[in-house]
Structure 1
Amino acid sequence: MATVELLFSALPEHVRTARLVAAAVARRAGVDEAVLDEVRLAVGEACTRAVGLHASHGVTTPVRVVLIEDEKKFSIEVGDDAPHLSAADAAAGGPGEASGAPEEGEDDMGLAVISGLVDDVEVTADESGGLIRMSWPTIPAPVLP
């Protein structure tokens, strides 16, 4: 199992680099060429979301992108350190409401795009940060005689 970890300052100009690295590693891992654009777009959306959350919450830690390659699938995890409201806190106007966090619709739009691009996606979040896990099947390398 090969793993690549990318940490970058939460600046929009670094999202392109994350997309390029993800596509290169996905190609090497054996993700179908026809799916590479989806990988790029999904990583771009997830990283843009993380950058926006860091900016709106004043978080200075880097955005994390982990690229994991195994025999049957290629996975990408994009993590942020921004506090996420629970549904109960959001309904009660709890912590973070006045922090300039992205509007709920803006956050949902990025996640909707990712869900439309990736069949296997999982989003988790709590007060210490969030994580988007995405994976794609790989094509086994041909066995040479």
Structure 2
Amino acid sequence: MPTVELRFSAQPEHVRTARLVAAAVARRAGVDEAVLDEVRLAVGEACSRAVGLHRSHDIAAPVTVVLTEEEKAFSIEVGDGLLAPGSDASQPGAPGGTGPGEAEADSEDEMGLAVISGLVDDVEVLTGAEGGVIRMTWPTASAVVLP
């Protein structure tokens, strides 16, 4: 179960690097060549979403991208560091709090999730103690059963 982990500051220019690394690791893991563009696009969208959330909520923690190769699947988790409402950090002025521009940010967030859902068949959006995570999974060549 080889895993690659990226951590980068919430700067838009780092999203391209994350996309390139994701495509290279997905190829090595055995993800079908025809799907690699979807992997690149989905990772780019998830990372752009995370960068936007970090910047709009003044989150200092890095964006995380974890790429995991399993026996029959390849998964990517993009962590945004945004704590769920109701956590200690959701006080006004803290990450996750409400303030001016929240409705617009929420709309962009929903649009990003819709794009990712359209690109990836197996996607989960989770919220934990470390923030939000988008987990995307693709089958690898070893998962394909030949007739």
State the distance in 1 between where 2:11 and 2:18 align. Answer: 11
> What whole-Å deviation, never above 9, does each CA across 1:56-115 have from its counterpart, x for those lacking one?
1111111000000011000000001123437xxxxxxxx611164452211100000000
Show the 5 A alignment for 1:1-145: 1-85=1-85, 96-98=97-99, 100-101=101-102, 103-125=105-127, 128-140=130-142
TM-score after normalising by structure 1? 0.85
TM-score after normalising by structure 2? 0.84
Which aligned runs of 4 or more in structure 1 are off by greater than 6 angstroms?
none
Report the CA distance between 1:18 and its aligned residue: 0.1
Runs of 5+ unmatched residues, structure 2: 87-95
State the distance in 2 between where 1:100 and 1:24 align. Answer: 36
State the distance in 2 between where 1:134 and 1:140 align. Answer: 18
RMSD: 2.0
Runs of 5+ unmatched residues, structure 1: 87-94
CA contact under 8 A between 1:8 and 1:63: conserved in structure 2? yes
The 1:107–1:79 alpha-carbon spacing in structure 2 relative to 1, beyond 3 Å, is: same
Opposite residue 124 of structure 2, the aligned amino acid is: E
Would you say how many aligned residue pairs link Structure 1 and Structure 2? 134
Report the CA distance between 1:140 and its aligned residue: 2.3
Report the CA distance between 1:129 and its aligned residue: 1.4
Opposite residue 96 of structure 1, the aligned amino acid is: G
State the distance in 2 between where 1:49 and 1:126 align. Answer: 17
CA contact under 8 A between 1:57 and 1:99: conserved in structure 2? no
Identity of aligned residues (%): 71
State the distance in 1 between where 2:127 and 2:64 align. Answer: 14
Opposite residue 78 of structure 2, the aligned amino acid is: V
